[in-house]
Amino acid sequence: MANPMENNKAVKMLRAAEEGGYGVVGVVSYNLETIAAVVKAAEAKRSPAQILLFPWALHYSPLLIHLAAAACATAKVPIVLHLDHAQSEEEIMQAATYPFDSIMVDMSHYEKEENLEKTERITKYLHSKGIATEAEPGRINGGEDGVKDTGDLEGLLTTEEEAKKFVNTGIDFLAPAFGNVHGNYGGVENIKLDFERLKGIRSAAAAKSCLVLHGTNTFPDEIMKACVKGGMTRCNVNDLVLYKYNKYVAENTGKVPLTELMGRGTELIQEQIEHQMDVMGSTGKV
Ligand code: 13P
């Protein structure tokens, strides 16, 4: 019987990034403007890209998922649809009925052994449906708009031993906690990225899972580049590409026609995504 994972787009994209030594931008998307900007940027830069939705989308409206899936299907370059931070089995089962290429089985709010057990079981199920999986050994600090708040739980750095155990569950992508923080933490001077730890995690994950980066809100270009050099194959971005758009919308809503608000807003996101494609080195890779 054919392996349902054989043609998984997300695995192919991130394996190619690993081999090519570049990173793929994963854009947290909340609306049409963000999704349109991902497609426009990827096509303009001849770059692979990923559209990331949070579980919020499942509850808000399935139409957002269909829109993102249509964007991936009609784009002239490869674009993957990923569900980020799915935190309950119920949401994951629901998500598996939509055309996601990959789903983050985020059980990091459970204790280590439970996280591992759930990740392994759910990964088997998703693989049988041809959907790739991502997991978070340890626990990345901070929170996000669209993800259930687990901010009362302490962050836990990923160890090499945990990374080994997690890649042995069969996951495709591993999101390490090496000092990175989700959401608004006020600037990189407030965090300490442990690149030595990342090195160890990378060799523990070698040849089994690709590494993916979370928590990039205030990253200067050189830090993003260092993360890609350290093995990150997909770099999740949220405010990093949305902050200009958010400011523009806040200042112009009700003052300019809606079509202008959407059009200029989309351009502002596209410019930031294109910049990140240059920084991560994915420009011209397709
Ligand atoms: P932040 O940079 O806001 O954490 O968003 C990107 C991310 O990691 C989403 O999972």
pLDDT at residue 151 is higher than 90: no
- CA-nearest residue for atom 3, ligand 1, is 183
Confirm whether 84 is a catalytic residue: yes
- Residue 116 in any domain: the answer is yes
If we measure between CA atoms, which residue out of 276, 187, 169 comes closest to residue 232? 276
Mean pLDDT computed over 17-45: 98
- Residue 42 in any domain: the answer is yes
Cα–ligand 1 centroid distance for 48 (angstroms) = 19
- Residue 1 in any domain: the answer is no
CA distances from 66 to 23, 120, 143, 154, 229 (A): 26, 28, 26, 35, 34
Cα–ligand 1 centroid distance for 1 (angstroms) = 38
Mean pLDDT of the chain: 96
Annotation: binding site: 85, 106, 136, 182, 214
- CA-nearest residue for atom 8, ligand 1, is 214
pLDDT at residue 38 is higher than 80: yes
- Assign 3-class secondary structure to 127-183: HHCCCEEEECCCECEECCCCCCCCCCCCCECCCHHHHHHHHCCCCCEECCCCCCEEC
Annotation: binding site for Zn(2+): 85, 106, 136, 182, 214
More confident residue, 258 or 147: 258
Ligand 1 atom closest to the Cα of residue 239 is 3
Q: Is the CB of 183 under 6 A from ligand 1?
A: yes
Structure confidence at residue 213 (pLDDT):
98
Q: Is the CB of 106 under 6 A from ligand 1?
A: no
- Residue 175 in any domain: the answer is yes
What's the CATH number where 117 sits? 3.20.20.70
Contact 158, 197 (CB under 8 A): yes
pLDDT at residue 66 is higher than 80: yes
What is the per-residue pLDDT across 79-136, written as a single tens digit (0 to 9) for each? 999 999 999 999 999 999 999 999 999 999 998 899 999 999 999 999 999 999 999 9
Ligand 1 atom closest to the Cα of residue 216 is 2
- Residue 252 in any domain: the answer is yes
pLDDT at residue 1 is higher than 80: no
- Residue 164 in any domain: the answer is yes
Structure confidence at residue 57 (pLDDT):
97
Structure confidence at residue 22 (pLDDT):
98
- Residue 4 in any domain: the answer is no
Structure confidence at residue 152 (pLDDT):
74
Query: Domains in the chain: how many in total?
Result: 1
Q: Which domain holds residue 242?
A: 9-280
What is the per-residue pLDDT across 40-54, written as a single tens digit (0 to 9) for each? 999 999 999 999 999
Instruction: Kindly indicate the confidence band of residue 248, based on its pLDDT and cuts at 50, 70 and 90.
Output: very high
- Residue 222 in any domain: the answer is yes
